[in-house]
């Protein structure tokens, strides 16, 4: 397939990079078929706002509804595949030191062959007890969309409700993941920000932190974001189109 042209200045920055941080968001997985958070929801979920389902308050009010939503998303992710953007990043990481930081709770980077240094917002595949925090094995979610709430399983250790392994709005980020991400951002000379609206803090502060520390920051997103005016190169393309073109141009083809 013909690849799109890469802006020469952007390409030069990518070629010169010695320590890269990639910061991905939901748009990274959109072309794999995973809806972003700002996409309209369908079916049972139509009348719920993801920003309201992904909260401790929603869990307290209706754990079975929240569990059903996450089980549905887990099953959905299990049935889709990494896209060319995920694969291009895995290939690039074999050529240059790269720290991959994601806000995504899916496992598509890993399935494309990347090592993820930080899942800042947790993972669909690491449920744990809501009472004693004991890890609970993931059953891989649901194969079909649920028609109603699904009761969460009981913790094998204490009998408490098992909760999703995702970080909800208002919760603290996992400290070790945050430290790894922030340290990598402070040390990088290039940050590639892909598929994020960059509005959910503290994660959204990382690209700004990279700009302030003197790194070159490239944004890959089909839409303008709050970040666009702040970065060095804001490239209006998608993850599965832009990343393979960039990675091929730096000579690190999969």
Catalytic residues: 121
| Helix, strand, or coil (residue 147) | coil
C-beta closer to ligand APR: residue 138 or 237: 237
Q: 37-50 as b/e, with b when 16 or more CB fall inside 10 Å? A: beeeeeebbeeeeb
E-strand spans in the chain? 20-24, 98-102, 118-119, 128-129, 162-163, 190-194, 216-220, 233-235
Report in angstroms how near the CB of residue 39 gets to ligand APR at its nearest. 7
Helix count (H) and strand count (E) of the chain? 9, 8
Q: At what angle do helices 175-187 and 205-212 cross, to 10 degrees?
A: 30
80 binds ligand APR (CB under 6 A): no
Q: Which of 239, 246, 247, 250 binds ligand APR (CB under 6 A)?
A: 239
Report in angstroms how near the CB of residue 168 gets to ligand APR at its nearest. 8
With 0-12 / 13-18 / 19 or more C-beta atoms within 10 angstroms meaning exposed / middle / buried, residue 210 is: buried
Q: Which of residues 174-233 bind ligand APR (CB under 6 A)?
A: 194-197, 200, 220-223, 225
DSSP letter for 165, please. Answer: S
Q: Which of residues 30-49 bind ligand APR (CB under 6 A)?
A: 30-31, 36-38
Segment contacting ligand APR by CB under 6 A, of 4-12, 21-29, 127-135, 228-236? 21-29
Report in angstroms how near the CB of residue 22 gets to ligand APR at its nearest. 12
The contact set with ligand APR (CB under 6 A) reads 25-27, 30-31, 36-38, 50, 54, 103, 121, 194-197, 200, 220-223, 225, 238-239
């Amino acid at each position: 397939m013909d690849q799109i042209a890469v802006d020469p200045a952007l390409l030069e920055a990518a070629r010169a990079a010695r320590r890269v941080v990639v910061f991905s968001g939901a748009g990274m997985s959109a072309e794999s078929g995973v809806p972003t958070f700002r996409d309209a929801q369908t079916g049972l979920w139509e009348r719920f706002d993801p920003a309201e389902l992904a909260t401790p308050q929603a869990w307290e009010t209706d754990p079975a509804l929240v569990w059903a939503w996450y089980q549905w998303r887990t099953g959905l992710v299990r049935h889709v595949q990494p896209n060319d953007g995920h694969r291009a990043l895995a290939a690039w990481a074999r050529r240059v030191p790269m720290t991959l930081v994601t806000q995504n709770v899916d496992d598509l980077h890993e399935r494309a062959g990347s090592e993820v240094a930080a899942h800042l917002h947790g993972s669909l595949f690491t449920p744990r007890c809501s009472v004693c925090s004991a890890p609970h094995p993931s059953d891989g979610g649901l194969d079909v969309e649920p028609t109603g709430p699904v009761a969460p399983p009981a913790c094998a250790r204490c009998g408490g409700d098992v909760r999703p392994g995702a970080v909800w709005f208002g919760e603290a980020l996992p400290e070790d993941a945050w430290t790894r991400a922030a340290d990598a951002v402070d040390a990088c000379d290039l940050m590639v920000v892909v598929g994020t609206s960059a509005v959910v803090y503290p994660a959204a502060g990382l690209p700004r932190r990279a700009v302030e520390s003197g790194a070159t920051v490239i944004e890959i997103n089909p839409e303008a974001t709050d970040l666009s005016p702040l970065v060095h190169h804001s490239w209006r393309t998608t993850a599965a189109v832009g990343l393979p073109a960039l990675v091929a141009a730096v000579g690190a083809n999969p």
